[in-house]
Chain A
Amino acid sequence: MTLLPHGLGQRLAAIVGDRYTRLRPGELAVYGQDGLPAEPSPPGAVVLPGSREEVIAVVKLLHEAGVPWVARGAGTGLSGGAVASSDSVIIGLTRLTRILDLSVGSRRAVVEPGVVNARLSAYTIPHGLVYAPDPSSQTACTLGGNVAENAGGPHCLKYGVTTNHILALEVVLPDGSVVQLGSPSGDAWGPDLVGLFVGSEGMFGIATRITLRLVPVPEAVRTYLADFGSVRAASESVSAIVATGVIPAALEMMDQACVRAVEASIYAAGYPIDAAAVLIVELDGSREGVAADSDVVAPLLAAHGARQLRVADDPAERARLWQGRKKAFGAMGRIAPDLAVQDAVVPRSVLPDVLDRITVVGERHDLVVSNVFHAGDGNLHPNISFDRRDLRRTAQVHAALSEIMEACVAQGGSITGEHGVGADKRDYMPLVFNAASLDAMCRVRRVWDPLERANPGKVLPVNACREWRAGGVE
């Protein structure tokens, strides 16, 4: 049933209790995937520690037993990063859900890794503070997972991604020892190992305590929804806005295929279905500041051909404008059983060209590609609905995704803006990094995890480590 050493399950259960140890195939199947549609790969066991002490004990046990492991939060990741093979153990962190400290004056909180992203903000908002990074999965995803993936979200344009908000970490290293990295001030007793750890996709250890930065709840928020006759016009309005120095809290765009999918679903938000692009612009700040910024932004939208401009100031109305965007993936999910969500970044100025190219790729493979993207930072998510059981279509989808990725990289972009490399994009890494850089990453990983037991097989292509380099051959 499993490739784990005999008796390991009992020893794990001795630490966390039977109730929190999963060994049966039916239970393990639940952990066979994350948010990435892929062939299921159930782990050999799942263990759900209830405290940092139990995490340490579990990691020590696995270290001594020589068993690889994968740390996992809510399993909402989109790159296959939180999936393990049958010779490995998943360490689920969803029971570590305590918010340990909130310091309103210094705008900092200390949390355990299993705290759900949106729950932290729900807890801090009454104190006038909010945790800014807001991935679309924020009602489910955990902060530990956000740290591992360096998660983003629509509001990262103004406020930055996860790494800009993490100040200190307590980390259990793969040998079970514990290190304290960083300090609440953001300075450290040494190099920035917090920054190095964030985004390491679970391959350096497990963050058991996370000190993060909060920002004030803005006094006023105004959301504009504009629709355009072409993606190019919408993109140009984005450039014009950014060039004024106004940094909107969010700048989100959806193309026509995406708008149609949304409007055909239960999430219909009243977007005009003949629009080539729908743009959401959100401004926040002081009341006067938002008013002043609006005086700059609204005329620019109109000048660049916005056909219709809707505006919302109160939360309910703003939520209506956002609904289609936030539920875009859900809306596309109803079209077919599987949804491939690509994540790529291009320099913002080439967005229209890249979107044209994506359309061509889709047509060649007889696929409908819908696009939803963070227009402010050039992070795009081409989506393709498909049925995994149709092997021919699946092959076409993979070919199209790969061509889209190459097109983005050719334009000076990156293979992932916020979803991570995981298992899904490992083979794209050589598109953006030379051999020496991959080798350096491989060696950095071994500094933290010399035996390569934490989340093996992710991020780095198989031949990334140049073992022969030590011998002087170049």
Chain B
Amino acid sequence: MSEPVLARLRALLGDAGVAAGIDGTPRAMPESTEDVAEVMQLAHAEGWKVRVEGQATWLGPDAPAQLALSTRALNRVISVSPEDLVATAQAGAPLDVLRRHLGEAGMWLPIDPPGRPERTLGSVLATATAGPLRLGFGFIRDQVVGLTVVTGDGQVVSAGGRVVKNVAGYDLAKLEIGGFGGFGIITEVNLRLRAVPRADLTMVASGSRDDLSAAARDIHDAGIGCAALELVSPTLAAESEWMLAARVTGTDGAVEADARRIAAVAARDWTALSSEKSAALWALIARGPVGPPVTLRLGVLPEGVDEMLDAVTRDLDEGLISAGPAGGGLRWSGEIDAERLRTMRRMLAAREIPLTLERGPWELRRDVGHFGAYREGVGALVSKLREVFDPGQQLSVALEAETA
């Protein structure tokens, strides 16, 4: 990259807003949506490839690019409105910082995605990743009421709004959430909040995988509304056996009643955890996946979870696994190469189960894509949507359909 161009970036962002990256890639650190737009207009005009970096705790900064756009300075929690149950934060805000701001206002964002505590909000949105709380509160798509993105050619596009119910215009936010950065750079997010629940109880049981899985389904079928009901592999739970962790939230009386019903429906040796211990457990489950190089997400229905646990432990390994026998979904983290991943995808496709590559080194992402092959007709839609939001293909992402 030529010195005059770096000078132009510095003119846009100031000296502090431009730095040399570790691998020599210049790095822009814009502080606002408008800054991001100006950087991308420049990138578009110059034809640069750009990779977006957050805290680099989930996806490493390894996509090929002539410019790295870091969201480190795009990290403010702009507003928290407990009265309206809405908060606005910039995409680079680390989750732990956001949580602290919300907590001070008595508010709670019911998400527990995998990753380190400082993982950025934007990273969670881009991967649409969800932890055990997906059972009780849905996915991150269900917590976002609006967002702003900057397109690959530097246009500022907003979707949704700042109110919790809104059907004005097409729901472009859904395309951005889980778009792995291919449809623009998310810069600002409006979130739907809840009040911190008065009571929040986690209880755990350990034992054989199949027994615990059946227990989870019994609890679910009894209509007990758990916030989370997650089956965790011994390695991930740092225990000698599989663990079933049940979390219930609400008013004190309701939580006590749910805990009694859980124990009655699934007669196991339950241990109720103190709030410190439960926080530590959920943090452990979240952090586990970032150890090994690759994380996979299987969109499996509850009734298929046992079979997929068999398949994953047989074909990959029984390393770091968490799964939802009640609500579905399975996450595996470990080491896998492109060939084995393709084989796994073929096996799953035959069972109508999507396999998403949530995390992995660039070479793997490039070779197999986050999504692999698209279904008939869908690949064409995805390519054309990419053109709308990134007409010059500035954004370095792994969304090409795999045709192999």
Contacts and interface: CB of A to CB of B under 8 A. Distances in A.
Interface of A: 103, 105-106, 108, 128, 149-150, 152, 156, 160-161, 163-164, 173, 177-181, 183-196, 198-200, 216, 219, 239, 242-247, 285-289, 291-293, 295-296, 345-349, 374, 377-379, 412-421, 425, 429, 432-434, 436-441, 443-445, 447-448, 459
B213 to A, nearest CB: 13
Which of B139, B167, B250, B254 has the most chain A CB atoms closer than 10 A to its own CB? B167
B223 A216 contact: yes
A216 B169 CA distance: 31
A103 B374 CA distance: 26
A193 to B, nearest CB: 6
B378 interface: yes
Nearest to A241: B195
Contact of B257 (A189, A194, A292): A292
A160 B377 contact: no
B343 interface: no
B169 A459 contact: yes
Given A128-B223, A152-B165, A346-B163, A245 B138 contact: no
B258 interface: yes
B354 A188 contact: yes
Given A106-B303, A444-B388, A447-B381, 12 more contacts: A149-B167, A163-B174, A185-B353, A189-B378, A198-B171, A243-B106, A246-B250, A345-B161, A377-B165, A378-B165, A438-B169, A447-B384
A189 B374 contact: yes
Interface stretch (B152-160, B203-211, B235-243, B281-289): B152-160
A218 to B, nearest CB: 8
Contacts, number: 275
Nearest to B193: A242
A289 B157 contact: no
A286 B257 contact: yes
B174 A105 contact: no
Interface in B79-136: 81-86, 106, 108, 128
A173 B376 CA distance: 12
B141 interface: yes
A193 B379 CA distance: 11
Contacts of B178: 188, 191-192
Q: Which 3 A-B pairs have the closest CB atoms?
A: A187-B299, A195-B174, A292-B253
Contacts of B171: 150, 163, 195-196, 198-200
A126 to B, nearest CB: 15
Contacts of B298: 187
A164 B257 contact: no
B252 interface: yes
B170 A187 contact: no
B302 interface: yes
A374 B165 CA distance: 10
A360 B83 CA distance: 25
Contacts of B167: 149-150, 152, 161, 199, 414, 416-421
Given A245-B197, A292-B250, A219 B223 contact: yes
Nearest to B179: A191
B225 interface: yes
